[in-house]
Structure 1
Amino acid sequence: MWLYRVLFVIFSPFVLWKIRQFKTHYSSYRAKEALGFWPKVEADLWIHCASVGEVLAVRPLVDVWREKFPEKRLLMTTMTPTGAEQVAKSFPFAEHRYLPMDWRCAVKRALKQLRCSHLMIVETELWPNLLQLAKRQGIQIDIVNARLSERSFRRYQKIPIVSKPLLALPDCFLAHAQADAERFSALGAKKVKVVGNIKFDLAVPERVRQDNWRQSLGNRFVWIGASTHQGEDDSVLRAHKVLRQTYPDALLILVPRHPERFDAVAALAVQASFDVLRRSQTSPADWSQASVVIGDSMGELMHYYQASDVAFVGGSLIERGGHNPIEPALLGKTIIVGPHTFNFLDITEQLIHANGALRCQNDAALTQCIVELAADSTRRSQLGRSALQFAQKNQGAVARVCSEIDFR
């Protein structure tokens, strides 16, 4: 692990800067916990989720665990304040801590305050000091919803002196798909099982159906740029400008992936001469005069998807690797992705093959696609039905996870 420690020391100034940034923007952020100063905590299960997406993904699994063990105590850790806010909303019964930065002294300090025998990490947050010290403390470690892109696999392959002992630490990897499982095994993981993606088991919250934002928007065409990154917002706004030449009442809901970009993206939309409103300041009933709504609220992505006719899933027009298309699929929405979806390659390719999503190779293709879909409600319905059928066919991962994991 010496190489990792050297790299972490090099990047430590950035980590400390990020902690300070959180402290500046979120008054509720408990920065001391990120340095390992935890209050004492006892739990039967510890679940680590990096941020909001992972917290939402693990809800079906926590529901099953709580049903089986209603008396047991749950600890949840996140790395971001927005993740912490989502834990408070989704799991008010759980204790929350911020995961300490992966300095050995910080992790050791935090673990001294913890009594727990089982750590479940959602997706692939592999922090060497955390894994090593938790293992030394006798904690069972399971990686749930484990995924590893071909790009990440090649990076790990280049440093086997680090990756091999790291991948050998968890007791079990419960992988999305066979390709992920093979990559983990090739890197030295001891036990790997293919169970599917627990996000397919996510139930559409009843509140989303009851609120029914789509109904308050009337018959206008509505589309969403979901979880966009810097470099994509301009492309989405340009496509929307062309769309409004034919459909002047069309509405774009633009939802940046990271909260710190809300202001900048709103300013970008204003500069592009759109009538811009922000979700944090208005309700859907007040969006009639808007041409662009900035989705600057947390935990409402399913509401935004439900309100839309077409969903562009961001992180895919640039080489970010794309985000998970399962949520719009569960709502039966027409899905568009860009050319870069290596983070969720198997799911996205299967969804496209099932006629449940469309891939656009560049900005021009995105513009053409959105204009064509606005004109063809029949095709939108067909794509949406196929997406929903694909999502429903792939459900059942939570049950498979529970059958593989020993909940002590």
Structure 2
Amino acid sequence: MRALYSLMWWLALPLVLTRLWLRGRQEPGYRQHWAERLGFYGRATPASGPVLWVHAVSVGETRAAEPLVDALLAAYPDSRIVLTHMTPTGRATGKALFARHGERLRQSYLPYDTAGMVARFIRHFQPRVCILMETEVWPNLIAVCGAHKVPVVLANARLSERSLRKATRFGALLTDAARGISLVAAQTEADAQRVRSLGVRRVEVTGSIKFDVVVPEAALAIGAALRAAIGPRPVLLCASTREGEEDLILPAFTAARATLPADILLLIVPRHPQRFDEVEKMIVAQGLVVERRSKLALDGGKLQADVLLGDSMGEMFAYYAACDVAFVGGSLMPLGGQNLIEPAALGKPVLIGQHTFNFELVTEDALAAGGAQRVADADALMAAAARLLSDAAARETMGLNAQSFANQHRGATRRTLALLRDLI
């Protein structure tokens, strides 16, 4: 099965590279560092200490990896980390988050999953361990790591029922790969049980590392400056919205203006930067006045627009800090939802849609704690926002519940680090 899988990779490679080039028309980062994706990295620099390999595919996984990366560098002061990604946005996020570590952290794209490319990566960097974040399972990568005696760890692992059903369709290809994983540190017992069903031998429940993320002071400062530019206006944030959701949110917002505070500001932050221009056109088509964050001066000017479009990278904490109520996107449509831990950690009332299968237990726990509220659709979202924005006491209580929920679940990084010691 793995031989057939490898053959399919080689046959598909011209199409994969063509798609990469075409995506580069909207995101230039896709046209950079191609050699890395093929397993070429130039002259190797001998490492003075152990090299720890952490793979975080995109933005969410990179942000989730921050507490673990910081803890690894602190626990192993002679080590260096190679942080790999698959997307330019993930790489840009890593650059912003980890610049403070200087030469102790190097970024690269993950090579495509062929045995030769992965083997070149391992020979070049000679990692002591491979730590994959959340849901990444690559059959050739795991097999080549096994051949080179590099233990593979799946950290902060989550596996929904839907993802498990998809995985079982690949039969022996995925189960063989699963058996090659040395350790899985799962977010919940339900995740652990689903992972065990694939044949992984060692699975431990550690909780979600995302609860351990420390809000950067710089992000809070930007959030405060953003709030000063907005002024006393109530702010409804729709964060990490996905394709199709703005088509629901914007008409609902327009229709609900009579029930919402008269001076409300709608702050929309699309999850994918290539959609910023598209979403701006959608806002204008609704007859709403829009301003882009990238053009907003934070030096004393006052924001007059109906909608602020969050078109910047690495400022999600700042957006959460500046809002009064936060809706977490990816949940109005069957996309699985996004992480609600960040707004909860900042003490913001959280609204979430019906489709949260990627973060099922975390969402249910937040709902049970009274820190989040589920809404049926975009109209219900606006009705819930109207109630919260008109009731300061309810808003404060819900925010405090959210923050308490987030604080109670800390500690996953420490537990994961303890499990990694023997492998490193």
TM-score in terms of structure 2 length = 0.91
How far the C-alpha of 1:133 sits from its partner, in A, is 1.1
Matched, 1:142 2:143: no
Equivalent residue, structure 1, for 2:171: 160
- Structure 2: distance between partners of 1:333 and 1:21: 39
Equivalent residue, structure 2, for 1:71: 78
Please give the residue correspondences for 1:1-400 in structure 2 after superposition, counting only pairs within 5 Å. Answer: 1-2=2-3, 4-5=5-6, 8=9, 12=13, 15-24=16-25, 25-26=27-28, 29-39=32-42, 40=44, 42=47, 44-92=51-99, 93=102, 94-211=105-222, 212=224, 213-246=226-259, 247-284=261-298, 285-286=300-301, 288-400=303-415
- Structure 1: distance between partners of 2:280 and 2:170: 41
- Structure 1: distance between partners of 2:210 and 2:120: 33
Task: Provide the secondary structure at the position in 2 that maps to 1:173.
Answer: strand
How far the C-alpha of 1:217 sits from its partner, in A, is 2.1
How far the C-alpha of 1:103 sits from its partner, in A, is 2.9
| 1:9–1:336 distance in 2 versus 1, CA, 3 Å | farther
How far the C-alpha of 1:374 sits from its partner, in A, is 2.1
Which residue identity does 2:351 align to in structure 1? I
- Structure 2: distance between partners of 1:137 and 1:232: 45
Extract structure 1 runs of 4+ deviating beyond 6 A: none
How far the C-alpha of 1:385 sits from its partner, in A, is 0.6
The C-alpha deviation readout for 1:244-281, integer Å capped at 9, x for no partner, is 33423211111111111111011111111111111112
The C-alpha deviation readout for 1:131-176, integer Å capped at 9, x for no partner, is 1112211111111100000101122223332221111111100000
Task: Provide the secondary structure at the position in 1 that maps to 2:96.
Answer: helix
The C-alpha deviation readout for 1:208-253, integer Å capped at 9, x for no partner, is 3333133442221101111111110121212322343342321111
How far the C-alpha of 1:16 sits from its partner, in A, is 2.2
The C-alpha deviation readout for 1:164-196, integer Å capped at 9, x for no partner, is 111111110000000000000011011000000
Task: Provide the secondary structure at the position in 1 that maps to 2:258.
Answer: helix
The C-alpha deviation readout for 1:81-136, integer Å capped at 9, x for no partner, is 12212222222221111111223333233333221121111111111111111221
- Structure 2: distance between partners of 1:2 and 1:116: 25
- Structure 1: distance between partners of 2:246 and 2:15: 25
Task: Provide the secondary structure at the position in 2 that maps to 1:113.
Answer: helix
- Structure 1: distance between partners of 2:227 and 2:399: 15
Structure 1 residues 322-331 or 86-95, which shifts more? Answer: 86-95
Which residue identity does 1:158 align to in structure 2? R
Which residue identity does 1:62 align to in structure 2? V
Which residue identity does 2:232 align to in structure 1? N
| 1:9–1:244 distance in 2 versus 1, CA, 3 Å | farther
- Structure 2: distance between partners of 1:134 and 1:306: 41
RMSD, matched Cα = 1.9
Structure 1 residues 9-18 or 283-292, which shifts more? Answer: 9-18
How far the C-alpha of 1:11 sits from its partner, in A, is 5.6
- Structure 1: distance between partners of 2:345 and 2:289: 31
The C-alpha deviation readout for 1:18-60, integer Å capped at 9, x for no partner, is 4214544325721221122223354521111111222221111
The answer (yes or no) to whether the contact 1:23–1:30 under 8 Å persists in 2 is no
Task: Provide the secondary structure at the position in 1 that maps to 2:269.
Answer: strand
How far the C-alpha of 1:400 sits from its partner, in A, is 0.5
- Structure 1: distance between partners of 2:383 and 2:114: 49
- Structure 2: distance between partners of 1:57 and 1:11: 31
Consecutive unaligned residues in structure 1, runs of 5 or more = none
- Structure 1: distance between partners of 2:341 and 2:379: 25
Number of residues of Structure 1 aligned to a counterpart in Structure 2: 408
- Structure 1: distance between partners of 2:417 and 2:72: 8
The answer (yes or no) to whether the contact 2:73–2:80 under 8 Å persists in 1 is no
The answer (yes or no) to whether the contact 1:23–1:31 under 8 Å persists in 2 is no
The answer (yes or no) to whether the contact 2:51–2:125 under 8 Å persists in 1 is no
Task: Provide the secondary structure at the position in 1 that maps to 2:351.
Answer: strand
| 1:13–1:376 distance in 2 versus 1, CA, 3 Å | farther
How far the C-alpha of 1:2 sits from its partner, in A, is 4.2
**Percent of aligned positions with the same letter in both sequences?**
38
The answer (yes or no) to whether the contact 2:231–2:302 under 8 Å persists in 1 is no
The answer (yes or no) to whether the contact 1:338–1:362 under 8 Å persists in 2 is yes
Which residue identity does 2:286 align to in structure 1? A
